[in-house]
Amino acid sequence: MRHPLDGITVVALEQAVAAPFTTRQLADLGARVIKVERRGAGDFARGYDRTVHGESSYFVWLNRGKESIELDIKDPADRSLLDAILATADVFVQNLIPGAVERLGLDADSLRATRPELIHCSISGYGPEGPYRSKKAYDLLVQCETGLVMSTGTAEAPAKAGISIADIATGMYAYSGILTALYDRQCTGNGASLHVAMIDALGEWMSQPAYFARYGDEPPRRTGARHPSISPYGPYRTGDGQVFLAVQNDREWTVLCRDILRRPELVADPRFVTNPERVAHDADLASILESVFATHSAEDVAGLLDAAGIANARLRTPEELTRHPQLQARDRFRPVDTPGGPMFALLPPVEVAGQEPVMRAVPALGEHTAAIRAEFG
């Protein structure tokens, strides 16, 4: 089966999450991804945990379909081998500590001086200029710097996001940037020098609360699982649990009052007449909803909401995602080999009719070293 990136070679000098997430997307599209890892230690994400057949849950998520070679790039022989590999590469991705690739002569200017067709993508925490350019950056720290932590949690305590959201945002922008550069190279023959900073990527995602805070009368409120600027939107108690619902406009509010709450007079109540009023009186509104829902089970409330066309959801654990009935019905998992045994991995989000994504094995540290040395040595 043909895949979109068949014939594309990616060399990745990467670690942790952001860059590996970028290159895994490319591997899923058929690119050959050669992952350069430190001798004897490898990508430090290999050691984050041992939960998937003895392997790190981070590593198996981020590194399927790649070839792993162990190199000491400060060793002259290994550096010569890396140079030989790079001479055949279409894309080079790196997220070493600030300044490292310049010292190693692996920066965009150095590599593209003789190979202008190369697409060079660097990932950093804070960008190549400015007072923070040399500052180390990790996901939680960038969440702090961009205001995300202060926008998340409860009124009493801010909280981080439950996933590596800064890394994921950065990885997705690097991935889309590389795809754009590959497309442009088809037209011009020239590669590109790309740089994606974590503060820029997550800053883009934080733009709405940032604009709200700068141009509004008050900073965004921390409201736990409730939405800070839309109401009703969040969890509400029922007779045997809770259900999440979301009303997005006044038309849906009217339907909720008339068909679910059986309180049509609430539509014109001055406390609830438009969304800003509903947000201001969110506690009153929650009390009304929960007094009605208290006589119903969560399943019954969800059924009533579905029938009325009101969006809703059940609160699930991360483990329950792996058994979600909708994902199972759509056959969204595939077996993937890891060094410790097979696992089931979620398919990439974009479905292409007639194509199955490439989901090759997760490599052991240095698994492909001998083969790559023989090929390029």
Stretch 344-349: mean pLDDT, rounded? 95
Contacts of 208 (CB under 8 A, 6+ apart): none
- Catalytic residues, by residue number, are 227
pLDDT of residue 219: 79
Dihedral of the alpha carbons of 220, 225, 227, 232, in degrees to the nearest 10: -140
Mean pLDDT for 191-198 is 98
Q: Check whether 218 has a pLDDT greater than 80.
A: no
- The tens digit of pLDDT for each residue in 126-142 reads 999 999 999 999 999 99
Q: At residue 271, does pLDDT exceed 80?
A: yes
Question: Mean per-residue pLDDT for 308-335?
Answer: 94
Q: Across-strand partners of 37?
A: 70
Residues of the chain with CATH 3.40.50.10540: 9-206+331-376
Fold for 233-316, please state it. formyl-coa transferase, domain 3 (3.30.1540)
Residues of the chain with CATH 3.30.1540.10: 233-316
Using the 8-state DSSP alphabet, how is residue 257 labeled? Answer: I
Checking if the pLDDT of 1 tops 90, the result is: no
pLDDT at 171: 98
Q: Model confidence at 216, in pLDDT bands (50, 70, 90)?
A: confident
Average pLDDT over residues 262-282: 95
Q: Rounded to whole angstroms, how far apart are CA atoms 103 and 327?
A: 47
Per-residue pLDDT at 220 exceeds 90:
no
Q: Residues, the chain, total?
A: 377
Which residue matches tokens 């059924």? Answer: 303
**pLDDT score of 223:** 87
Place 122 in a pLDDT band, splitting at 50, 70 and 90: very high
Question: How far is residue 165's CA from residue 174's CA, in Å, rounded to a whole number?
Answer: 14
Give yes or no for residue 217 having a pLDDT over 80: no
Continuous H helices in 256-376: 275-280, 282-293, 298-308, 318-321, 325-329, 369-376
CB-based burial, 252-283: b 16+ in 10 Å, e otherwise = bbebbbeebbeeeebeebeebeebeebbebbe
pLDDT at 302 over 80: yes
**Share above pLDDT 70 across residues of the chain, in percent, rounded to a whole number:** 100
* pLDDT over 90 percentage in the chain: 91
pLDDT at residue number 79: 96
Q: What is the CATH number of domain 9-206+331-376?
A: 3.40.50.10540
Least confident of 35-44, 86-95, 216-225, 363-372: 216-225
In this prediction, residues 2-29 reach a mean pLDDT of 97
Quote the pTM value.
Answer: 0.91
Which segments of the chain are extended strands (E)?
9-13, 32-38, 66-71, 91-94, 119-124, 192-197, 233-237, 242-246, 311-313, 333-338, 341-346
